[in-house]
Amino acid sequence: GENVEQHPSTLSVQEGDSAVIKCTYSDSASNYFPWYKQELGKRPQLIIDIRSNVGEKKDQRIAVTLNKTAKHFSLHITETQPEDSAVYFCAGKGFGNEKLTFGTGTRLTIIP
Amino acid sequence: DTEVTQTPKHLVMGMTNKKSLKCEQHMGHRAMYWYKQKAKKPPELMFVYSYEKLSINESVPSRFSPECPNSSLLNLHLHALQPEDSALYLCASSQIGLAGARSGANVLTFGAGSRLTVL
């Protein structure tokens, strides 16, 4: 099955700076990679996703890049704000698979 | 309605109790999921229902029993739980099952969760 590793486990960034979180996956057939943000005591919420047929996707301050050859994908948050503080989970899904496998999470803290 | 609603928000039960968690969505989604999340850990898949049929059971102990009465409702029946089963139980839904390739249809929408404490 799919195995997703996520780094770093914690990340502190000065407000206004950029944050990058990286994930690697094991199944070369995986074709869908979402990122979820979970604030303390809240539900996970999708912030951006990417499919295996594109290399990059942007949505305002958030971008995701995918390197299929190296089997890794990254979340980039620019101009960070205090409300970006949360736990971020990457995930991967194998082709034709019903199961989303989550990474172990990154606790992002934005320092004002 | 763009939400997944879970009840109760909090549940405390003894090891001999029988209780149920409920999940409801009115987005016309045909796949529904139960996840278990322990503190500081990612969500762990328990069950998947696709078109009201159980399609995945991740080797979950039989003290957890899922039920999908119709396309909008998903229940999780709990019986003879252990203290280590204490966790946040998240329900989620998606337009179609994750195996489908249609763009945008795989997005999981999570409910707010039911926080379960087993004494």
Task: Give the A window 40-59 contacts with B, CB below 8 Å.
Answer: 42-46, 49, 51
With an 8 Å Cβ cutoff, are B90 and A99 in contact?
no
pLDDT in tens, A7-18: 999 999 999 999
Q: CA B87 to CA B2: how far, in whole Å?
A: 25
Percent of all residues in chain A with a pLDDT value above 90, rounded to a whole number: 79
End-to-end CA distance of chain A: 41
Q: CA A3 to CA B74: how far, in whole Å?
A: 28
Task: Give the B window 26-65 contacts with A, CB below 8 Å.
Answer: 31, 40-45, 48, 50, 55-56, 58
**Contact with chain A for residue B114, Cβ under 8 A:** no
With an 8 Å Cβ cutoff, are B98 and A44 in contact?
no
Residue A2: per-residue pLDDT:
83
pLDDT > 90? residue B95:
no
pLDDT in tens, A56-71: 999 999 999 999 999 9
Query: What mean pLDDT comes out for the span A81-96?
Result: 92
Query: What mean pLDDT comes out for the span A39-48?
Result: 94
HSE-up (13 A, CA, CB side) for residue A64: 24
pLDDT in tens, B54-93: 988 888 999 999 999 999 999 999 999 999 999 999 999 9
B35 three-class SS: strand
Q: From start to end of A15-105, where are the E strands?
A: 19-25, 30-38, 45-51, 56-59, 62-67, 72-77, 86-94, 100-102
